Amino acid sequence: MLVPQMEKNWEVIEYFNKKNINVVLFVLLSQQYLYGPEMKKRGGSGLVHDVAPLSELDLSRFEDVFLKFLVGVEARKLKLAAVQIGNEFNSADFNGDLPLIQGGAVLSAKTYREYSFWSKFEGGLNKLVEAVRFTRTALNETSQTRGTPVILGGLARPSNEWLSQVNASLVEPGVALRTLRELGIDRYVDAYAVHIYPRLTEPVDDAGGAIASQVTSILNEARDGIDKSKPWWITEWGFPKSFARANGSNSRLGYYLSFLSILSQHWSEVVQASFIFDWNESKVYGVWDGGSVLGTDGFFAHQEGSRFPPTIKQQSPSNP
């Protein structure tokens, strides 16, 4: 994740480059340093934090930070596999243009214009398109990063139940993406990204079937009415430790293997890459257990030759 401490960004990328591990740079547009001092965050509650409204993104600050970052990339001859711009911008959790509403709200293709805050949300999408456009241009004007794929940051689709519990609003992924395409984003991105966190909060007889149903529902909703020519990346997915306990198990390994199997069997023509979420500041989704992944030394061996070999996404850079 791009942070304002440039040296830290460069050191982390250089560390993984030396180990021949691909690095996808994640640029979170809700960070404080990308906004002017007059910006006021929308208040949060419970699991939904205070967050900046995307419509107030200071594009000049974003451009300055990104160009400074590229100076170091060029000087150190660093390599990036891709750059992802934005994160869950269609959710109140990461975009202050979307309010907290008692009981939650889902803006669908039939209802989105009924909400008074839609115009402000759309203004934020305009800023997102400009940030992506600048990113594409800056990457191509830097010899070290010319041709680096640009990924539209992960769309969110938590369950309606969760939205209701936390009183959050959300724009359906397909609605947000169609609006962005009308604003011209297709000219600047190589792939769209989505985040998928299947919910298994109660015991189920067929966990694999339940996971497959939710993956299919989310991808179909995001792709509804969208040109199918661009690939999709799943830049976050995983299962919190609480799901294993809720289903009478001490291990989540079977869930992760089921998810990867579903992608290989049913979505190999659509999904180009997937990344397991592992936030090193929280143990809820952590997959490292005593030096191994999900308690087994054979996790990666399970997927040798697979269309979707497991890839771990580190949420925030830490000193190597």
Strand bridging mode 169-171 / 105-107:
parallel
| pLDDT exceeds 50 at position 175 | yes
pTM: 0.90
Q: What was the pLDDT predicted at 250?
A: 65
Token output for 156: 């969110």
Average predicted confidence (pLDDT) for the chain: 89
Q: Which two tokens stand for residue 210?
A: 């339940």
How many CB atoms neighbour CB 203 within 10 A? 10
Mean pLDDT confidence for 142-164: 95
**When comparing pLDDT for 185 and 253, which is higher?**
185
Output 287 or 112, whichever has higher pLDDT: 112
Query: So what's the pLDDT on residue 302?
Result: 55
Q: What pLDDT score was predicted for residue 281? A: 66
- The token pair at 290 is 């005593």
Average pLDDT over residues 78-107: 97
Which pLDDT band, with edges at 50, 70 and 90, does 217 fall under? very high
Residue 92 or residue 223, greater confidence: 92
State mean pLDDT over 155-174.
95
Query: Using 50, 70 and 90 to split pLDDT, how confident is the model at 196?
Result: very high
Region label for 30, one of left (φ > 0), alpha (ψ between -120 and 50) or beta (otherwise): alpha
Identity (one letter) of the amino acid at 294?
Answer: L
| Least confident interval from 30-34, 189-193, 251-255 | 251-255
pLDDT score recorded for residue 318: 42
* Tokens, residue 250: 């001490």
C-alpha distances in Å from residue 178, one per residue of 77, 108, 109, 228, 253: 37, 12, 10, 12, 36
What is residue 148's predicted lDDT score, i.e. its pLDDT?
97
Q: Which CATH class is domain 6-314?
A: alpha beta
Is the predicted pLDDT of residue 258 greater than 60, yes or no?
Answer: yes
**Residue 249 pLDDT level (bands cut at 50, 70, 90):** low
| Residues 56 and 32: beta-carbon distance below 8 Å | no
Report the alpha-carbon angle 70-60-155, nearest 5.
75
What's the Cα-to-Cα distance from 243 to each of 76, 259, 311, rounded to whole Å? 43, 14, 21
Supply the DSSP string of 131-198, one letter for each residue: HHHHHHHHHHTSTTTTT--EEEEEEP---HHHHHHHTBEEE-HHHHHHHHHHTTGGGT-SEEEEEE--
Length of the chain: 320
Q: Which residue has the higher pLDDT, 26 or 284?
A: 26
Express each pLDDT in 262-314 by its tens digit: 998 899 889 999 998 887 666 788 787 666 777 776 666 655 545 555 555 54
Structure tokens at 190: 């190589």
Place of tokens 């190999």: 268
- What pLDDT, on the 0 to 100 scale, is given for residue 293? 74
pLDDT tens digits, residue range 29-77? 999 999 999 999 999 998 899 999 999 999 999 999 999 999 999 999 9
At residue 296, the pLDDT reads 73
CB 89 within 8 A of CB 154: no
Q: Which residues does 114 contact at the CB level (< 8 Å), separation at least 6?
A: none
Q: Which of 139, 145, 232 is nearest to 191 (CA)?
A: 232
Average pLDDT over residues 70-92: 97
Can you give the pLDDT at residue 40? 96
Q: Where are the domains of the chain?
A: 6-314
Please give the single-letter amino acid code of residue 118: W
